[in-house]
Amino acid sequence: MLEVIIAIFILLSLVVYALMGGADFGGGMWDLLAFGPRAKRQREVIAEAIAPIWEANHVWLILVVVLLFTGFPRGFAAMMTALNIPMTAMLLGIVLRGSTFIFRKYDVKDDSVQRRWSTVFGVASFFPPFFQGVTLGALATGRIRVEQGRVLTGFMAGWLTPFALACGVFALGLFAFLAATYLTVDSKDEPLLQDDFRLRSLWSGLALAPIALVVFLTSKQGAPQMFHGLTRWWAPVLLSWTSVFAAVALVALWLRRFTVARLAAIGQVTLILVGWGLAQYPNLVTPDVTVSNAAAPQFTLRLLVIALGFGAMLLLPSLAYLFYIFKGQERG
């Protein structure tokens, strides 16, 4: 029971990480892809939107990791062994993205060094989402086999399959869409700029449909247990709600109802990850490592749940305050 509570906390942290941190990576992608007469202004708005919150958003990932290794130490060890290569690539992206973002912000403006920081920042922003998607995909493939805590299938299993790679591309598209949608709200004082982000949001939102289809089709071969999970009773409900949110987001973008679009995009991403979590349950690494067989002793789990309760009481109001200050107030 306790292990399920911890697993739910991990899933929730992943959802919030995708909604917050994922959008920050998406912002980095749009920074690299900025073009047109307002390219410079696009980059500035992205930087302003990300700057005060990206470190706090990043901590959700740390939370996922520490909950994983405290609550499910065997699962963590297996994941980190089998997926050593994509994880390392993701870390490189995280290091370079974060540091070049801050270097650029505090360096002298508008010289060639500045532009170079900007390029590294943009390129590095593509790494973490892609490899995070690949990792989540790989865990579901069933290709990673673990026996008595030993990974039997080496370091290439799972993550190089078409399904896992498609998951990586899907994560890229999803975060790009999310970021562009948020940015339409962040740029509300500049209609032309807002239009730039609106178009980006529409295009990336539309592009998600064929990628999602590829993920779904490859899952039959590539992640049979997960595919099977998606045929359970709750799946049609969840899938249709996800589609509804996606449609609402696109229509709202088309009609320039940007706050509605943002809410719908949040709903869409949340349901996608919750759906993934439900289809993956009870496996951590399909099929050998599960929530129950990888769990830490009860005493540890109980303490962890208590700590999470207290942590949430202290941190959630603080986090709400941070967002209220930088996202809630009218600028002026």
Nearest approach, Cβ of residue 127 and another protein (Å): 12
Q: Toward another protein, which CB reaches closer, 51 or 123?
A: 51
Q: Which residues contact 46 (CB under 8 A, 6 or more apart)?
A: 27, 28, 30, 31, 34, 179, 183
Nearest approach, Cβ of residue 122 and another protein (Å): 16
Q: Provide long-range contacts, Cβ within 8 A and 24+ apart, for 325-330.
A: 325/52, 326/52, 326/53, 327/53
Q: Toward another protein, which CB reaches closer, 254 or 321?
A: 321
**CA–CA dist 206, 317 (Å, integer):** 35
Q: Give contact residues for another protein (rule: CB under 8 A).
A: 51-53, 55-56, 58-59, 61-63, 65-67, 69-74, 76-81, 84, 87-88, 91-92, 94-99, 101-103, 105-108, 149, 151, 155, 296-297, 299-300, 303-304, 307, 311, 314-315, 318-319, 321-322, 325-326, 329
Q: Toward another protein, which CB reaches closer, 199 or 322?
A: 322
Assess contact for 135 and 87: CB atoms under 8 A.
yes
**CA–CA dist 155, 267 (Å, integer):** 35
Assign residue 244 a region (left: φ > 0; alpha: ψ between -120 and 50; beta: otherwise): alpha
Q: Toward another protein, which CB reaches closer, 102 or 278?
A: 102
* Burial (CB count within 10 angstroms: exposed 0-12, middle 13-18, buried 19+), residue 163: buried
Q: Toward another protein, which CB reaches closer, 263 or 322?
A: 322
215: tokens are 């993920």
Q: Toward another protein, which CB reaches closer, 63 or 279?
A: 63
Nearest approach, Cβ of residue 69 and another protein (Å): 4
Q: Toward another protein, which CB reaches closer, 111 or 233?
A: 111
Nearest approach, Cβ of residue 72 and another protein (Å): 8
Q: Which residues contact 182 (CB under 8 A, 6 or more apart)?
A: 23, 49, 262, 265
Assess contact for 171 and 204: CB atoms under 8 A.
no
Angle between helices 54-71 and 84-106 (to 10 degrees): 160
**CA–CA dist 1, 289 (Å, integer):** 17
Nearest approach, Cβ of residue 176 and another protein (Å): 22
Nearest approach, Cβ of residue 271 and another protein (Å): 25
Nearest approach, Cβ of residue 8 and another protein (Å): 16
